[in-house]
Structure 1
Amino acid sequence: MMNAIHWPEGFLPGFSDNFVSNEVIVAGLNAADIWPLLAEAPRWPDYYANSANIRFHDGAGPELASGTRFYFETFGFPVEAEVVEYVAPAGDAPGRVAWHGWAGEGDSRLDVHHAWLVENLPGGRVRILTQETQNGAPAKALATSKPNPMINGHQDWLDGLVAAARNTKG
């Protein structure tokens, strides 16, 4: 049985203004190959062009951790974020990282819950699932955009993550 994302109150898919889900399952890699590339946020721009200017608050970083506050830019939004879940993969237990991100104020405020699950599967495979729920007027606009920039952007992130892990592994 494959694991699922843990959703906080107010961000359950179906009850939020926008929801996107992307997943890859690849052979020849494992959670330990993927995790450092995801957990060390300053590495994101190396393999994901839609992330930039990552900065940590309060002397934290470069690795994410529960309660870590950080800033990055993505999809044209300056995002403040706080890690709300962080569990590195260990044995059969999947890695989980999620952050609450926000941008804008008032009617233009966007709030997101972006979660990742990295789990080893039988046969030398790894599953990487990323899902995001969003609330606010910008989320409503993104939900109706065609093609969906969030689906396409997160797929680029997954594809870049896998390619970077393969390159790192050699």
Structure 2
Amino acid sequence: MMNDVHWPDDHLPGFSDNFASNEVIAAELTAADIWPLLAEAPRWPDYYANSANIRFRDGAGPELAEGTRFYFETFGFPVEAEVVEYIAPAGDAPGRVAWHGWAGEGETRLDVHHAWLVENLPGGRVRILTQETQNGVPAKELATTRPNPMINGHQDWLDGLVAAARNAKGSPP
């Protein structure tokens, strides 16, 4: 059975202004191969070009942890974020990391809940699921933009994550 994301009430898909869901299942990789690349936010720009200028607040980092505050830039937005869920994968239990992020003020304010699930599947496969809900005027605009920048951007993140994990193992992409 595959797991799903834990959603806060104010960011439940279907009731938010925008929702993006991307998933990849890759053979010959494990959650342990993927997790360090995702959990150590300063590594993101190495494999995901749409992330930049990652900075931790209050002396935290480089690994994310529940309650960690950090800043990064993505999709043209300067995002302040706080990790609201962090559970590293262990055995059959999936890894989970989620943050609440926000940018702008008033009409330009964007609030997001971005969650990741990394779990081992039978047959030597790993499943990586990333989902994001957004609220605010910018989210409503993103929801109607075609091609969808959130779906495409998050797919780039997943593809880069898998390629970086394969590269770290010395496997072909």
TM-score, structure 1 as length reference: 1.00
* Equivalent-residue separation in structure 2 for 1:144 and 1:52 (angstroms): 25
Secondary structure, counterpart of 1:113 in structure 2: strand
> How many residues are aligned here?
170
* Equivalent-residue separation in structure 2 for 1:88 and 1:17 (angstroms): 29
Task: For residues 56-78 of structure 1, give each alpha carbon's deviation from its aligned partner in whole angstroms, at most 9, with x where no partner exists.
Answer: 00000000000000000000000
Q: Percentage identity across aligned positions? A: 89
Secondary structure, counterpart of 1:45 in structure 2: helix
The yes-or-no answer on 1:168 pairing with 2:168 is yes
RMSD: 0.2
Counterpart in 2 of 1:36?
36
Matches within 5 A, 1:135-150: 135-150=135-150
Counterpart in 2 of 1:81?
81
* Cα offset, 1:21, TM superposition: 0.1
* Cα offset, 1:114, TM superposition: 0.1
* Equivalent-residue separation in structure 2 for 1:129 and 1:108 (angstroms): 28
Counterpart in 2 of 1:95?
95
* Cα offset, 1:136, TM superposition: 0.1
* Cα offset, 1:160, TM superposition: 0.1
The yes-or-no answer on 1:127 pairing with 2:124 is no
* Cα offset, 1:9, TM superposition: 1.5
* Equivalent-residue separation in structure 2 for 1:70 and 1:169 (angstroms): 29
- Structure 1 runs of 4+ aligned residues shifted over 4 Å read none
- Which amino acid counterpart does residue 141 of structure 1 have in structure 2? E
Counterpart in 2 of 1:65?
65
Counterpart in 2 of 1:27?
27
Can you give the 5+ residue segments of structure 1 that lack an aligned partner in the other structure?
none
Counterpart in 2 of 1:107?
107
